[in-house]
Amino acid sequence: MKLSFDRRGFLKKTSLAAMATALGSEIVFADKLPKNYIPLLFEEKDALKGKNPDLIVQGDRPWNVETPLNLLDDRITPVDKMFIRNNGLIPEKMDIKTWTLTIDGESVKTTKTYSLADLKKRFKHYTYQLVLECGGNGRSGFQPQTSGNAWGQGAVHCAEWTGVRLKDILNDVGIKSDAVYIGYHGNDIHLSRDPKKEAISRGVPIAKALEDETLVAWQLNGADIPEFHGYPLRLVIGGWPASVSGKWLSRISVRNKIHDGAKMEGHSYKIPKSPVAPGQEVPQTEEYFRIIESMPVKSMITYPKSGAIIAPGKELELRGHAWAGDLSVKSVDVSIDFGSTWQNCKLEAPANRLAWQHWNTKIKLPVKGYYEVWVRATDEKGVAQPMVIPAWNPGGYLNNACERIALKAE
C-alpha cells in the first residue's frame, strides 16, 4: 500500500482508513493518534510475521552487532545476547601470562605496571551489574540520518562485571592534586593497521574514575571476558557512553587536562551545546560541542515481542528494563492509547547503583484491532523520556524517545 503524504512528508488525514485496511484491522484509539504520527507497524515491515531475529550485524570491520529488544529479556544480559561496538580490530596476540596494566600520566606520583596476577592478588575484588549503552543507541530514529551505525534501540546491555576498583589502583600509584581526567589505552589494532595510531582512546573526569563502581575487570558474568568484549582486561564505567569502557586495556593515563586521545576530537561522542536545525552543519570546536557524560533516562519493553497477537480482553503481562545514566529511575508508565493516558508499572530497585531496573505490569486490550504499547521512564530528578525523537545532532547521539511495540488483538 502506498501512503499519501503532503509536501513536507507528513501523513495526510485521509490515509487513516487506508492504514486500517493495510493492517487488516481497525486502529483502536485512532482518535488519539498524535498529529502526523505514522504507526509503528509501517516501520517494522516484518513485525507480524512471527520471525525470531538473531543479532543484527551493523558491520564486520570493525565488528558492530545489535541485539533485538526481545532478546534482552534477561535480568542480567547473557554474553551471547550482548551488543558489540568495536572501533578497531581485535588484538592478534593476547597472552594472559604477560599482559600488564600501566598507570602513567602527568598527574601520577609514580608510574607503575601491574600484571594480572598483581591486580588479582593486591586489591579487593568487587562485582557489579552495570549498564553499558552506546552513545549512538537509537541513531536510526534521527532524520535526516547521521553518520555512524544506524542502531535501533538494542545497543545496550546490563551484565555482571568482576574486577578491582580503579580508585584502589590509583590510590596505590598516588595521584597529584592537579588530576582532572583519565584516559585509557588498549591493544586493539587501528583499522589502517598503522601501529602509531590508536583505534580509540577515551576517558572520563577524575571524579567519575574514582567512583566505587568504576572497575578494571577480568570477568564477565562469572567467566573470563570473551575476546569480543575486551579479554583479558577491560575498563568498565557504567552510566556513561560505553565508549569510555576501554577494551583490551593495557594503560591508563592520569591527565592534568581533558584527555585528548582518539575519538575525543571533533564531534565524536559530543552534542551541540545549543539546539541546531536538522541537518545543520556545526563547527567541530569546543565552543559549540560538549562531551557526552551521564546517559539520559530510558526504558525498553522486552516482553512481549513487537508484533505479538493476543486475544482481546485477555490480561497480558508486560515487562522490561529502565535506566538513567548516573541516576536512578523513579517511575515507569505504559500507554495503549498513543500517550493520551498512562498506567503506572511496578518498578524494582536496582541490584546496585548504575544497574538497570526491572519493571512489569499487566494490561488488557479491550476490543479487536491494532494497538501500540508505549513505555516512558522518569528519573529521580523528575525528567521523563520525550514522546518524540529529541533534538537532532550531527552524531545521532542520545535518542531516548519512548520505546513502543505493535500488538494485534484478534
Q: Cell for 144?
A: 535526516
pLDDT over threshold 70, residue 132: yes
Mean pLDDT of the chain: 90
Hey, CA dihedral for 409, 23, 69, 290, is it positive or negative?
Answer: negative
Q: Cell for 335?
A: 500507554
pLDDT over threshold 80, residue 146: yes
Please, which residues bridge with residue 350 across strands? none
Q: What pLDDT is attached to residue 285?
A: 82
Cβ proximity of 220 and 160 under 8 Å: yes
Confidence of residue 200 (pLDDT cuts 50, 70, 90): very high
Q: Helical H runs in 73-215?
A: 116-122, 166-173, 206-209
- Report the amino acid identity of residue 292: I
Cβ proximity of 315 and 362 under 8 Å: yes
Residues 78-99: tens digit of each pLDDT: 999 999 999 999 998 888 899 9
Per DSSP, the residues of 358-395 read: EEEEEEE--SSEEEEEEEEEEETTS-B--SS-----TT
pLDDT over threshold 60, residue 191: yes
Radius of gyration of the CA atoms of the chain, in A? 23
Question: From the CB of residue 292, how many other CB atoms can be counted at a distance below 10 Å?
Answer: 22
DSSP letter for 71, please: G
Closest of 65, 10, 7, 6 to residue 35, by C-alpha:
10
Q: How distant is the alpha carbon of residue 213 from its chain centre?
A: 18
> The whole model's pTM is what?
0.88
d(CA 41, CA 44): 5
pLDDT over threshold 80, residue 195: yes
User: Domain coordinates of the chain in residue numbers?
Assistant: 79-291
Task: Please give the CATH topology (third level) of the domain spanning 79-291.
Answer: Sulfite Oxidase; Chain A, domain 2 (3.90.420)
The stretch 59-77 carries a mean pLDDT of: 93
d(CA 350, CA 130): 10
Closest of 258, 401, 273, 380 to residue 325, by C-alpha:
380
- Report the amino acid identity of residue 230: G
Hey, CA dihedral for 97, 254, 164, 299, is it positive or negative?
Answer: negative
Confidence of residue 21 (pLDDT cuts 50, 70, 90): low
Cβ proximity of 235 and 229 under 8 Å: no
